């Protein structure tokens, strides 16, 4: 009987600007052998990001494109595109990345960029989504793993995690509860992609 030839592992690039807890969540699952992926690089716009230390602990090299060092911000975006093109990843994972990707990057990697957002999209897009939900007084909040398109937090939804807002819950408690859900659904979304299980049709994502 002929043995099955395993599919090549997907090459991943991570984009992060801050503490990197979602980066670590994905890397831990990869390290356990549960995601068929090769974490090739972390790219960060912040030379002080804690995500750099997390990447180093997992033997993932970091490329720093310091946002503050660019007097012309369009040069940053050009350098980012050049860097991504050189690496040629199968998937780009934005996990706490605080820059809006330019259309040129999204067009270069169509349906190959996944983002995690701390709200139940399409509600509460943009910054401070947890505070937006808390101030609005919703009874249910959560997070969304989605493909990135040329809008703001508007791409096809892959997975969502739900958090019930209990009586007396503070904004801080809500933020931490949502973060726990992020750590669950982002690795799962990456896993589904790397196993070729995601199908997009009419902007709806099916998990095969």
Beta pairing partners, 10: 37
Contacts (Cβ under 8 Å, ≥6 apart) of 66: 45, 46, 47
CA distance 147 to 78: 21
| Span 138-148, pLDDT tens digits | 999 999 999 99
Calculate the average pLDDT of the chain. 96
Q: Is residue 82 part of a domain?
A: yes
Look up the CATH number of the domain holding residue 152.
3.40.50.170
Q: Is residue 78 part of a domain?
A: yes
Active-site hit among 117, 146, 183, 192: 117
Q: Is residue 34 part of a domain?
A: yes
Percentage of residues in the chain with pLDDT exceeding 90? 96
Active site residue 77: no
In total, how many domains does the chain have? 1
Q: Is residue 197 part of a domain?
A: yes
Binding residues for (6R)-10-formyltetrahydrofolate: 73, 98-101, 115
Q: Is residue 69 part of a domain?
A: yes
Binding residues: 20-22, 73, 98-101, 115
Domain residue limits at 117: 10-207
Cβ count within 10 A of residue 164: 10
Q: Is residue 1 part of a domain?
A: no
* Contact between 65 and 45 (Cβ < 8 Å): yes
Q: Is residue 2 part of a domain?
A: no
Q: Is residue 161 part of a domain?
A: yes
| Span 52-79, pLDDT tens digits | 999 999 999 999 999 999 999 999 999 9
Segment 11-16 mean pLDDT: 98
């Amino acid at each position: 009987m002929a043995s099955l030839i395993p599919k090549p592992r997907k090459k991943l690039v991570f984009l992060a600007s801050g503490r990197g807890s979602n980066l670590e969540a994905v890397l831990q699952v990869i390290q356990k052998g549960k995601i068929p992926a090769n974490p090739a690089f972390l790219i960060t716009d912040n030379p002080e990001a804690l995500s750099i230390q997390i990447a180093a602990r997992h033997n993932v090299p970091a490329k720093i494109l310091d946002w503050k060092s660019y007097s012309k911000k369009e040069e940053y975006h050009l350098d980012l595109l050049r860097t991504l093109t050189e690496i040629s990843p199968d998937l780009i994972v934005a996990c706490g990345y605080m820059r809006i990707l330019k259309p040129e990057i999204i067009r270069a990697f169509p349906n190959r960029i996944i983002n995690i957002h701390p709200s139940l999209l399409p509600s509460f897009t943009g910054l401070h989504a947890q505070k937006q939900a808390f101030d609005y007084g919703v009874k249910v909040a959560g997070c969304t793993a989605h493909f990135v398109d040329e809008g703001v937090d508007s791409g096809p939804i892959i997975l969502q995690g739900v958090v019930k807002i209990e009586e007396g819950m503070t904004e801080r408690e809500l933020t931490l509860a949502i973060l726990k859900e992020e750590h669950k659904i982002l690795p799962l979304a990456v896993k589904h992609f790397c196993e070729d299980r995601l199908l997009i049709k009419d902007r709806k994502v099916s998990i095969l």
